[in-house]
Structure 1
Amino acid sequence: MRTTKIVYWQEDELWLGYLEEFPDYWTQGTTVEDLEEHLRDLHADVTSGELPGVRHVADLTLA
């Protein structure tokens, strides 16, 4: 089983969040569990290779 980092917060009645590696793509849910399910679906979409122009965030090792 793999893991990925997410960023999430509550705004009014909704939970909002995004995958740390793909901060341009946000989703929402009515509960944290609902949000997590939407984030799983979002991960599948952005890593499928079918969406053009997906921007990534990554670490860069410097000398």
Structure 2
Amino acid sequence: MEKLKYIHWQDEGFWLGYLEEYPDYMTQGESIVELEENLRDIYKELTSGNIPCVRKVSELQKKSTSVSPST
């Protein structure tokens, strides 16, 4: 099973969180278990192709710039 990283915290009796790859889509639960279920549901929806203009985080490899020593 694929693992998904998520960020979570507790506030006023609720667990809040979002998927690291999709930080714009936050959810909550009354327990950490419910939060994780809701995050799985969000992931399924976001990757279904049914929601237009989904924003996600990706990584970009920096291009190395080598400087030649001047002689």
Whether these two folds match at TM > 0.5 is yes
1:4, distance to aligned residue in structure 2 (A): 1.1
1:46 corresponds in structure 2 to 46
- The structure 1 segments of at least 4 consecutive aligned residues displaced by more than 3 Å after TM superposition are none
Q: Deviations over 1:3-49 (max 9, x none)?
A: 11100000011000000000000000000011000000000000101
Q: TM-score with structure 1 length normalisation?
A: 0.97
Q: State the distance in 2 between where 1:4 and 1:35 align.
A: 13
1:13 corresponds in structure 2 to 13
RMSD: 0.5
Rg larger for: 2
Q: TM-score with structure 2 length normalisation?
A: 0.86
Q: Give the share of equivalent positions with the same residue, in percent.
A: 49
Aligned with 1:3: secondary structure? coil
Q: Which has the higher helix share?
A: 1
2:66 corresponds in structure 1 to none
Q: Which structure has more RCO (C-alpha within 8 Å, separation ≥ 6)? A: 1
